[in-house]
Structure 1
Amino acid sequence: MSCPHIGATSALLKAIHPSWSSAAMRSALITSAELNNNLGKPITDAFGKPADPFQFGSGHFRPTKAADPGLVYDASYMDYLLFLCSIGIKNLDSSVKCPIKPPSPSNLNYPSLAIPKLNGTSTVERRVTNVGSSKSVYFVKVKPPPGFSVTISPSILFFNHIGQRKTFTITVKANRVNKGMGKDKYAFGWYTWFDGIHNVQSPIAVSVA
């Protein structure tokens, strides 16, 4: 039932925010989701065991919160073309030529972060757009994946008007304890921007090389 629920909610979001792109609506749904189910307990898998973001995505979506997410991670047509270039898919648009050194796939302005086969340290960039109060201040809090450290800079974002954009970086570093972590095995964490009203939460998934 996930598809019809999300599809209907997206239609409602478009009616409320007709200028939002599909990427902005998806961001609102992802970052406003919660990690507890309708009973107020952590989301579990089909066997009743604790689930992870590869099973539940960003969590249990909340339509009313998605209508007022505070910040959104927007992405343009060109952003997606560059992402496709970065993973080796070219010539989808004859008017656009892939750069010689395309950006890392992890740099797509997506409201979650996945870094496969991390070897040492990786820094990626994200951009958020203010769709909440005209003047607002957001602070970041981080729950790093076990065995990794996560640093976000700047750690405070100041907004003066609706539609203003701010860019920040996320640096993920593998700690020594990860040497015993199996390949293709992911660790999960979160980072959240909050202003006292909104909690703009994004999952993190990292594996080591």
Structure 2
Amino acid sequence: MKTYLRETNTLIDNWELYEEFQKNINLINISLPKTTAVHSFNTIQLSLSSMAWLSLMKLWDDKIKEKNNVRLARIYTFIKDGRFKNFITEKYSEYPDIIKIHINKRKKFLSLYDEYTNGTSKNIYEELKKIRHEILAHAQIDSVLSYLHLKDDLNKFYIDTIQMIEIAYYLFNVGISLGEWQERVRRNARSLVAVMTKSESSSLS
């Protein structure tokens, strides 16, 4: 699970900074003095979004032949097995409230996984999977970066994925709060934006 957490932290680092840039895009562009600076800033944004996509799809990866790769599918298969449910029921046989929480969290994880792999949100999963395989991981000659999902769809996918990692840790009896890490990254990102736009903000105030 440490590898899952490391990849999730990388996802958060890149997505939260990208989001903060997007929220302040107009002010940042005004603050940048030259066209070359704007170009460099756009390059940074592309790198952040690409890395976020890549980290997200590593977590949602398929099984690679003869590779022990990180993938939510591994957790899905493990906790969906009836033996896992029986194990939880037996382990907490004297604590029905704990059993109920575990069962509900297990259902939530399975439901979210099914939603993206074979449900109402399958489109974004398939689009990012294609982008990851054909553009980010490989430079396929005839591939063009295109997608139909909206930024809100991507943000929901991001939030749901983080929730699934937290649930997985809980089911394996380890409590983590990725929200705390998200807030720290956001705070650092806001500080960076404040430095980048300081002169412009002062002239506008």
Q: TM-score, normalised by structure 1?
A: 0.22
Q: TM-score, normalised by structure 2?
A: 0.23
Bigger fraction of residues in helix: 2
Bigger fraction of residues in strand: 1
For the pair shown, the structure with the greater C-alpha radius of gyration is: 2
* Higher relative contact order (CA closer than 8 Å, sequence separation 6+): 2
